[in-house]
Amino acid sequence: MESETPTKASVVSSLMAVKRNSGKTFSQIAAEIGLTNVYVAQLLRRQAQLKPETAPKLLAALPGLTETHILQMAEPPLRSYDPTIIQDPTIYRMSAIDFFCAVDKVKGVDGKDRVVLTFDGKYLPHTEHKVEHMVSRLKLQEDLKGPGT
């Protein structure tokens, strides 16, 4: 009988449920454990490997994590291209219009050269689609009423 290895999608779904149930943001978790919010997101989406010294801090920040979660997160991630991640509405919030990119070289804390990429683009907020803001709908209603109505 074959062992039932959970899929990456099912593991990520379970990890994200723990995060959601905690009520914490990636930034809040990151602040508690001393990591960046992006790295915390990578850990919970199985795009980065959880280091043994970080596991206790993550467990303290997210008590809903199980030992199985920790073991799964400690395995090297299998990275792959997923076009749905790129198109996710919570990620796809930067406009390439009026966009600037800069590449800089800085010294890291270890004295070695590092690359800093800065993407500076217009933030695209989520908008609520209200009928009264839909100009074409308003024009259509005026046309249906007719002149002098």
Predicted confidence at residue 31, as pLDDT, reads: 93
Q: Of 55, 83, 111, which marks where a domain is finished? A: 83
Among 83, 110, 129, the domain-final residue is: 83
Secondary structure (H, E, C), the chain: CCCCCCCHHHHHHHHHHHHHHHCCCHHHHHHHHCCCHHHHHHHHCCCCCCCCCCHHHHHHHCCCCCHHHHHHHHCCCCCCCCHHHHCCCCCCCECCCCCEEEEEEEECCCCCEEEEEEEECCECCCCCCCHHHCHHHHHHHHHHHCCCC
Domain at 112, CATH number: 3.30.1160
Last residue of a domain, one of 39, 63, 83: 83
* Domain tally, the chain: 2
- pLDDT (tens, 9 = 90+) of the chain, 149 residues, equals 445 778 889 999 999 999 999 999 999 999 999 998 889 999 999 988 999 999 999 999 999 999 999 999 999 887 666 676 666 665 677 888 888 888 999 999 999 999 999 989 888 887 766 767 777 767 777 777 777 66
What integer pLDDT is reported at residue 133 of this predicted model?
73
Residue 1: what pLDDT? 44
Under a CB-based contact definition with an 8 Å cutoff, are residues 95 and 70 in contact? no
Q: Which domain holds residue 46?
A: 8-83
Q: State if pTM tops 0.85.
A: no
Q: CATH number for the domain including 50?
A: 1.10.260.40
Domain identity same for 73 and 15: yes
Does some domain include residue 2? Answer: no
**76 plus 18 within the same structural domain:** yes
Q: Within a domain: residue 113?
A: yes
